[in-house]
Amino acid sequence: MNELLEKLLEAVESGKADQKSPFPPQLKGQDGALELTISALEAGVSPQEILESALIPAMDKVGKKFTENKIFVPQMLMSARAMGAAMTQLKPFFTSGEIKTKGTFIIGTVKGDLHDIGKNLVAMMVEGSGWSVIDLGVDVSAEKYIQAIRENPGAVVAMSALLTTTMANMGNMINEIKAASPETKIFIGGAPVNNSFCQKIGADFYSPDPQGIVEYLNKQAS
C-alpha cells in the first residue's frame, strides 16, 4: 500500500489530527491526518482510495479495539477528530459525487433527550465506515426524521436515548416514521435500550456499541 496511506491509517487509528496535535506523544511533530490527506491528494491518490484504504480500515480498527475495551472513549474521540480532519479535505469529492458512499444514515437523539455523546460517536464511526451521515442533532421529533427521509430516499435511520424516561418516546416515534415510510430501517441505541426493547417497539436493529451498527450497515450495503 502507498506509504502515505499507511501513515494516514496510523494517524487516524492513533488519533493524530494534525501536525500541531500533541497527541499521541510518539507522533509529536509529525504530520497528522490533515497533512497526510492533503499530501495523498497532491500525490494523485484518488479520494475514493484514501477513504477505502486508510480512513475506513482505521476506524474499523478503532471500533474493534473499543468493543474489546482496549481503548476508551477519549482515544476513540481523538481518532474521530483525526478522521474529521481528513474528511475536511474529502468533503468536496463527496459533494461532487466523485466519492461513492455506501448510503445515507440519518441520526439523532429522541424527542426530549439532549444527551448526544453516544450519538455523536456512532455518527462519526458510521461516517468513518464510508456512509454519508445526516446528523439531526438532539431532541429530534418524528416529523423531523420523516422530512429527512423524504429528502434522502433509502436512508437508514438511527435514534438514541440515554434515559428510561425518553426511551419511552422511541416506540411512538417509530410508529410514526414507519407509518410515513414503511420500508425505512430504524436502529436504536443508548444506555437503557436493549434487544428485547428493540423488538418490542418494532425497531429493526439494536447494538450496544458503534461497531455493531457499522457491521450491520456494511452487511446491508454489500
Partner 1 sequence: MTSRERVLAAIRHEQPDRVPVDMGATPSSGISAIAYSNLVKHLGLNLPTRIYDVVQQLAQPDMEIIDRFGIDVLDIGRMFNDKEEDWYPVTMANGDTAYYPVWFKPVLQPDGSYATFDTDGTTKLAHMPTGATFFDQTYFPYLDGYPENYDHLDEEMGRILWARYAHSPWDHASEADFWPKLREKALWLRENTDKALLVVCGCNLFEWGTFLRRMDNFLMDLMCEPENVERLLDELLKRHLATLEKVCHYLGDVVDIIRFGDDLGMTNGPFMDAETYDALFKPRHKILCDYVKEHSSMHTFIHSCGSISMLIPGLLEAGIEILNPVQTNCAHMEPDYLKNEFGDKATFWGGGIETVGTLNIGTPEQIRSQIFERMDIFNKGGGFVFNTVHNILPDVPPQNIVAMFDAIKEYNAKQ
Interacting residues with partner 1 (CB under 8 A): 15, 21-24, 67, 69, 71-75, 77-78, 81, 111-115, 117, 120, 139, 163-166, 168, 191-192, 194, 208-209
Q: Give the dihedral of Cα atoms 205, 211, 214, 219; nearest 10 deg.
A: -80
To the nearest whole angstrom, how small is the minimum distance from the Cβ of residue 175 to partner 1? 17
CB nearer to partner 1: pick between 65 and 185: 65
104 SS3 class: strand
Which C-beta is closer to partner 1: that of 68 or that of 183? 68
Of 152 and 194, which CB lies nearer to partner 1 in the complex structure? 194
188 φ/ψ angles, rounded to the nearest 5 degrees: -125, 155
d(CA 129, CA 198): 24
What is the C-alpha to C-alpha distance for residues 153 and 20, in angstroms, rounded to an integer?
Answer: 41
Cα–Cα distance for residue pair 85/34, rounded to 1 Å? 5
Task: Report the residue number, 24 or 103, with the smaller CB distance to partner 1.
Answer: 24
Q: How far is the CB of 77 from partner 1 (least distance, A)?
A: 5
Identity of the residue, 41 or 168, whose beta carbon is nearer to partner 1 in the bound complex: 168
Contact 33, 12 (CB under 8 A): yes
CB of 88 to partner 1, least distance (A): 17
Question: Grid coordinates in use for 183?
Answer: 420500508
Strand 186-189 relative to strand 156-160, pairing? parallel
Residue 34 Cβ vs partner 1, minimum distance, rounded to whole Å:
15
Closest distance to partner 1 from the beta carbon of 78 (Å): 5
